[in-house]
Structure 1
Amino acid sequence: MKVAVMGAGAVGCYYGAMLARAGHEVVLIGRPSHVEAVRARGLRLETRTFDEQVPLGASTEPGAVQGADLVLFCVKSTDTEAAAAQIRPHLSPDALVLTLQNGVDNDERVRSVLPSSEVAAAVVYVATEMAGPGHVKHHGRGELVIAPSRRSEQVAQQLLAADVPTQISGNVRGSLWAKLVLNCAYNALSAVSQLPYGELVKGAGVAEVIRDVVAECLAVAKAEGVEIPGDIDAAIRGIAQSMPSQYSSTAQDLARGKPSEIDHLNGFVVRRGEALGVPTPANRVLFVMVRLLENKQQPR
């Protein structure tokens, strides 16, 4: 299987490297410094059980998706439509575009730009970070839940064979919302405090803030008619226990002076709450605080 990773950040690099280790032809599409490092030495995949230089391709050009059977679409939610338009002229007619992004509507946004392509959403449960150009660190987990499509069963089997736990679900929308609730609970708080999850939850009043944020998210989801699977409270508790040293992606973005995806996390909940008549004051405060920190980092 030929695989292209559009937006080769920590998530895309991890799954791309796992597929490359399993013998698939993989090309990472990312920033020049990252691409140069991968071309020179391969991608360093550092996990708790192994530390390897994984040989794979790398390019800065969206055209590198040409000929790919599977495109792992991993760009920031803020770049979804623009990135989809960049790959549109180069996609194979039979390619599956799998969206591995934060937020709940990226597959719909990609489909609006690529109406003739097969697009499926995926829910990602992995703790990773870029430790430098050509170097991804894996801190834990790695499961994928993907939506049904013509190619989903085949792709799921290939992922399973590459040691990526994968399941197909008819309620990916609910699972995406469940992931959104987790992100809303932790991402902004980790970003504002610059603390990993394990330390964050020890803070006075943090548990109560998380409780309020989650309650608002669930109220918005209910108003949307979304059925969230599983025990969301247990999942919230499990994040800090299973990934105690992990900083949220929003925290990592702020630490590097990069724009975050907060508009598509707490900001999304605030906007949908306004549209549906559901109050979201806790989410609004976190959203505004992160935006203020982002604006503070911009040149005056």
Structure 2
Amino acid sequence: MKIAVLGAGAIGAYVGAALHRGGADVHLIARGEHLQAIRADGVRVNSPRGDFVAKPHATDDPEEIGPVDYVFLGLKAHSYASSGPLIAPLLGEKTAVVAGQNGIPWWYFHKLAGPYEGRRIEAVDPGGATSEVLAPERAIGCVVYPATVIEAPGVIRHLEGTRFSIGEPGGGVSDRCTELSEAMIAGGLKCPVEPNLRDDIWIKLMGNVAFNPISALTRATMVDICKHPHTRRLVTLLMEETLDIAARVGSTPDISIEKRLRGAEGVGHHKTSMLQDLEAGKQLELDAIVTAVVEMADISGAEAPNLRAVHAATDLLARGVTAA
């Protein structure tokens, strides 16, 4: 099994190292000091589950790799539409693309039976630019649960979690998902194949759509947001509105809001990815996490007043970051 990881950052390098440890033919695409360190010493994973080093092939030139069986995307979702020159050399006739992204994926309405089947979500597929680069037929959905950071070039700190839920946009359990799951499990990861992955997408999104923008606006950690009664109430309202939108487009994830709040509080003084990007002066991953959900509210007729207000404030903040 030949796998390329495009965007071998914190999550991408962790996945690639695990897959290589499990026996897959792995190729990492990275850049800068991180790439140089991986070439010299491999990927070092420091983890409470046990440290290890993996030495897969690493390059900044996908032409060196050629077509693969699977491409794992470790890029931010807003980079997908511009990734064509990097991903094209990796695509063969049957290459599957596994998008390890936060939020709503560009393929969301692909093969989703019902009134919205085939509908494009402009926030994540503007003018069809993402679908042109990443055909929805190639997509394998992926919900990423682990938390990782780049501790130093070539060094990944694994904080918690090993689960990567995957699934077909059209539902069911396919051979290509089963084979990928087996490779991930061989590398020490959890990788259930979910017949209805969209429910998993919404379960994770419940947290992201609430905590990410609030943390960016307030600079607060997840536990701070949970313990402050007014922001805890706002998170609850945002989750309620998100579940309403999910139901309107056909998903009914089986999880309580209180359980999601307890889980977030248990994480402790953790900065969300959006707050980390804000502090680093990077583009905020707003389109997939919040803007797309607001667009789905428009599509489905949901009011979502709190979500719209938080989105408006965070969108203004994001424009300031981009301008800077």
Work out whether the TM-score is over 0.5.
yes
TM-score normalized by the length of structure 2: 0.83
Matches of 1:209 and 1:116 in 2, distance apart?
35
Count of matched residue positions in the alignment of Structure 1 and Structure 2:
299
Given candidates 273, 277, 280, the residue that maps to 2:301 is: 277
Report whether the alignment pairs 1:227 with 2:247: no
Aligned position for 2:114: none
Report whether the alignment pairs 1:163 with 2:188: yes
Asked if structure 1 preserves the Cα contact closer than 8 Å seen for 2:243 and 2:252, the reply is no
Query: Are the structure 2 counterparts of residues 53 and 194 from structure 1 closer, same or farther at C-alpha, using a change threshold of 3 Å?
Result: farther
Residue pairs, 1:84-233, within 5 angstroms: 84=84, 86-107=86-107, 112-115=132-135, 118-147=138-167, 148-233=173-258
TM-score normalized by the length of structure 1: 0.89
Matches of 1:272 and 1:72 in 2, distance apart?
26
Show CA shifts across 1:196-238 (max 9, x none). Answer: 3233322241210111110111111122222324445423421
Q: Which amino acid aligns with 1:2?
A: K
Give the secondary-structure state (helix, strand or coil) at the position aligned to 2:203: helix
Residue pairs, 1:253-264, within 5 angstroms: 253-264=277-288
**Structure 2 unmatched runs, 5+:** 111-124, 168-172
Give how far 1:258 is off.
Answer: 0.4
Give the secondary-structure state (helix, strand or coil) at the position aligned to 2:68: coil
Q: Which amino acid aligns with 2:159?
A: H
Give how far 1:252 is off.
Answer: 1.4
Give the secondary-structure state (helix, strand or coil) at the position aligned to 1:169: coil
Matches of 1:23 and 1:191 in 2, distance apart?
40
Show CA shifts across 1:163-206 (max 9, x none). Answer: 11111111112221222222112111222333432333222412
Query: Are the structure 2 counterparts of residues 18 and 193 from structure 1 closer, same or farther at C-alpha, using a change threshold of 3 Å?
Result: farther
Show CA shifts across 1:126-160 (max 9, x none). Answer: 11222333222211112111113331111111211
Give how far 1:255 is off.
Answer: 1.4
Deviates more, 1:139-148 or 1:210-219: 139-148
Deviates more, 1:110-119 or 1:186-195: 110-119
Show CA shifts across 1:11-46 (max 9, x none). Answer: 212211111222333222123232122112222212
Q: Any runs of at least 4 consecutive aligned residues in structure 1 with deviations exceeding 6 A, and if so which?
A: none
Q: Which amino acid aligns with 2:2?
A: K
Give the secondary-structure state (helix, strand or coil) at the position aligned to 1:130: strand
**What do you get for the CA RMSD once the two structures are aligned?**
2.4
Asked if structure 1 preserves the Cα contact closer than 8 Å seen for 2:6 and 2:28, the reply is yes
Asked if structure 1 preserves the Cα contact closer than 8 Å seen for 2:215 and 2:272, the reply is yes
Query: Are the structure 2 counterparts of residues 171 and 299 from structure 1 closer, same or farther at C-alpha, using a change threshold of 3 Å?
Result: closer
Asked if structure 1 preserves the Cα contact closer than 8 Å seen for 2:163 and 2:190, the reply is yes
